[in-house]
Amino acid sequence: MASSYLVVLYCVTAGQNGNVLGSDEEEIVVLSWLVYDTAKNKVVAVQSCTVKPRTADINENVLSEQCRNETGLVEEVVKSGEYLENVIEQFHQFAKTKLGSDVGRTFCLITDGQLHLRQCLLPETCSKNIELPEYFYVFFDLRKEFRKFYQGEEMQSIAEMLNYLSIEPDGSADYGIRQIQDMAKVITRLSADGHKFDEPEVINIRLEHGICSRSDEVDSNTVVRARGLPWQSSDQDIAKFFRGLNIAKGGVALCLSPQGRRNGEALVRFVNQEHRDMALKRHKHHIGNRYIEVYKASGEDFVNVAGGNSNEAQSFLSRGGQVIVRMREIGRAHV
């Protein structure tokens, strides 16, 4: 069943934006949204909120030169904004009162590409322990919807979509409002031309356990090696580091030293190359004060670490078992 509303969501960070949004871990400074009524094919609400970064009380300057030049934002306005958790709560209350009591069923989010949710909002809220409502984990990617309907080349920006459709860009003074209004123009044309928004993407928030056999074939374009992990990191901690990206079932393999101890590395397998490529952009992102290196790895690397031939393990997991512990070289004194 199609949603009654599409809610356009757009993030601006204090650092890099555009097609490298989220790659530098900079905090969100603007969160804009627009409500599009799919039955009436028109915009019914627009809002843009300035977000105060948590570093604003520590650092004199929080905005990069690129951000200031691109968006027109100034330090004073950003420092007088609301914290991210308050802006998200403001949006949630708006959704409850304006979009129907069945929140998340009457509307679906839509973003300009993957990065606004997967690489920006979800990682930041996760690191700040901000709980997001479930509807943030289902969305439409406007660039993919555009390509699916018009069967053309992949668009790299909102401006490219407008140019393809010969549509004049919005003239609003506010940067965030301009972006979401331009997205609404693209949505309007797509709808008028007959496109149906009926297959949203889902962001996985739970790591599914599974067993990899040495006979499995794993696509090398889906695997990364994470290095520099705290030695006590679990598979769940690693999944949290990659929050927003869909990890394959049983897709985290912790590397062990010859002595059977964790060595601060892990192989991570994603559902496809698109998610692997986004994972690579988290190179030198942080877990606590430690920066984590993220590199390409091969399917063979993953199988070598994760592979096993235990039918009993497969059977255990199929019955709902959650954890398998590997034990090595236990001496008699420990038995």
pLDDT (tens digit, 9 = 90+) per residue, 171-224? Answer: 998 999 999 999 999 999 999 999 999 999 999 999 999 988 888 999 999 999
Residues 54, 130: contact at Cβ < 8 Å? no
- The DSSP bridge pattern shows strands 223-227 and 262-270 to be antiparallel
Contact 157, 115 (CB under 8 A): no
* Average pLDDT of span 8-37: 97
Contact by Cβ (8 Å): 50, 77: yes
Answer yes or no: is pLDDT of 311 > 90. Answer: no
DSSP annotation of 51 reads B
Greater model confidence, 226 or 152: 226
pLDDT at 146: 98
Compute the residue count for the chain. 335
Report whether pLDDT(294) > 50: yes
Give burial (CB, 10 Å; 0-12/13-18/19+) of 237. Answer: middle
Q: Please tell me the distance from the alpha carbon of residue 22 to that of residue 25, in angstroms, as a whole number.
A: 5
pLDDT of residue 107: 94
271 secondary structure, DSSP code: S
Q: What pLDDT was estimated at residue 105?
A: 76
Compute the radius of gyration of the chain from its Cα atoms: 22
The whole-number pLDDT of residue 315 equals 52
Q: How far is 176 from 169, CA to CA, in rounded Å?
A: 13
> How far apart are the C-alpha atoms of 72 and 48, rounded to whole Å?
14
For the segment 20-46, the average pLDDT, to the nearest whole number, is: 96
Q: Return the pLDDT at 261.
A: 86
Q: What percent of the chain has pLDDT over 70?
A: 90
pLDDT of residue 67: 96
Strands (E), the chain: 5-13, 28-37, 42-50, 107-111, 138-141, 201-202, 223-227, 247-256, 262-270, 285-287, 290-296
pLDDT at 214: 86
Q: In which residue are the tokens 């031939």 written?
A: 309
What's the mean pLDDT when you consider all of the chain? 91
Q: In this structure, are residues 140 and 200 in contact, taking their beta carbons and an 8 Å threshold?
A: yes
In angstroms, rounded to a whole number, what is the distance separating the alpha carbons of residues 294 and 64?
A: 24
| pLDDT computed for residue 56 by the predictor | 81
Helix (H, G, I), strand (E, B), or coil: what is residue 108? strand
Our CA angle for 95, 99, 102, nearest 5°, is 90
Query: How far apart (Å, rounded) are the C-alpha atoms in residues 294 and 282?
Result: 7
**Distance from C-alpha of 157 to C-alpha of 177, rounded to nearest angstrom:** 16
What average pLDDT does the segment 80-86 reach? Answer: 97
Among the listed ranges 12-16, 74-78, 321-325, which one has the minimum average pLDDT value?
321-325
| Choice among 3-7, 99-103, 169-173, 180-184 with the minimum mean pLDDT | 99-103
3-class SS of residue 168: coil
Which region among 15-29, 91-105, 114-128, 263-277 has the lowest average model confidence (pLDDT)?
91-105
| Higher per-residue confidence, 312 vs 216 | 216
Dihedral, CA of residue 184, residue 24, residue 275 and residue 235, to nearest 10: -130
Whole-number pLDDT of residue 104: 59
pLDDT of residue 221: 98
The pLDDT tens digits of the residues spanning 219-261 come to 999 999 999 999 899 999 999 999 999 999 999 999 988 888 8
pLDDT tier at 63, thresholds 50, 70, 90? very high
DSSP 15: S
pTM assigned to the model: 0.90
Binned at pLDDT 50, 70 and 90, residue 101 comes out as low
